[in-house]
Structure 1
């Protein structure tokens, strides 16, 4: 793995978008696919800042749609790397919708995206480690391993018995 260690602040990204008529459905709400597209861009920027490499989306999971976003709202997408693994990074996204005339601002979405770093030949490359600093960053960092194991189990890339940190949430593992 790369010997460089980065702070989550080095990869923090904020992206703003104005919801226009072409972005909405017949109820004048932002289309979910359009939001996922914008979230993918913001997350990729954050991942690229961390990796200093081209990155590709490996997975999108745990996307929650809590509040509809209306025509004319301004959305703010906050993306930050929560953990780096050998060749991949997990990025947490929070989406806020703001109605500027009324002054209201609500959290509408959150998600986790995973990206893999590639070289110019399309081969995976090691990424810098992440050093969480704040209590929130440490909590996200610690949870990332369980989220990764869940992603791998659901994708059939890891046997559930091998997901020890994930299993520990549900079962008390006997020490030998």
Structure 2
């Protein structure tokens, strides 16, 4: 690790790509899987730029598809490091699509990827800390702390029980299921 702390702006990455018919699904909208691939690529680039080493995707924490993306729109993804731990980083990504004929821009996706820095032998390595300069930087960092705590709580809850049907069958009454046991 060369630097002890880095500014968020030092690792930000922006990519733009024109959406082609080959990227579309059967409904004529851009396939979510294609967008996920681009999200993973930009998360890797941002995390590797911050850490200075190879990074792997540890988890895709949130992917909120907000608006469909149309063929012919210019998609721009903006990634930045929102949080750092010892070897992990939360990369926040905003996806916007622009109609290149009208100039109209819409927010299409917000995502958070947890990336981990690795050495040549595949061991986790320490990453530089973050220099927080704005209220938005602080807000994103704190939201990442809260999101991580909720993720840990959820993981612990799911590991603490086997969800035996006798204990949880009452929860099914308010859902659209039919039991045939």
With normalisation by structure 2, the TM-score equals 0.83
Pair member with larger Rg: 2
| 1:89-120 CA distance string (max 9 Å, x none) | 00000000001012111000001100000000
| Residue aligning to 1:131 | 131
Structure 1: 5+ residue runs without aligned partners? 161-176
Separation of aligned partners in 1, 2:88 and 2:157: 15
| Residue aligning to 1:98 | 98
Tell me the secondary structure at the aligned position of residue 36 of structure 2.
helix
| Residue aligning to 1:49 | 49
Tell me the secondary structure at the aligned position of residue 122 of structure 2.
coil
Separation of aligned partners in 1, 2:139 and 2:24: 35
Tell me the number of residue pairs that the alignment of Structure 1 and Structure 2 aligns: 160
Separation of aligned partners in 2, 1:149 and 1:121: 29
Separation of aligned partners in 1, 2:117 and 2:81: 13
| Residue aligning to 2:77 | 77
| Residue aligning to 2:110 | 110
Change (3 A) 1:57 1:157: farther
Tell me the secondary structure at the aligned position of residue 126 of structure 1.
coil
Separation of aligned partners in 2, 1:155 and 1:91: 21
Structure 2: 5+ residue runs without aligned partners? 161-181
- Please list every run of at least 4 consecutive aligned residues from structure 1 whose deviation after the TM superposition is greater than 4 angstroms: 157-160
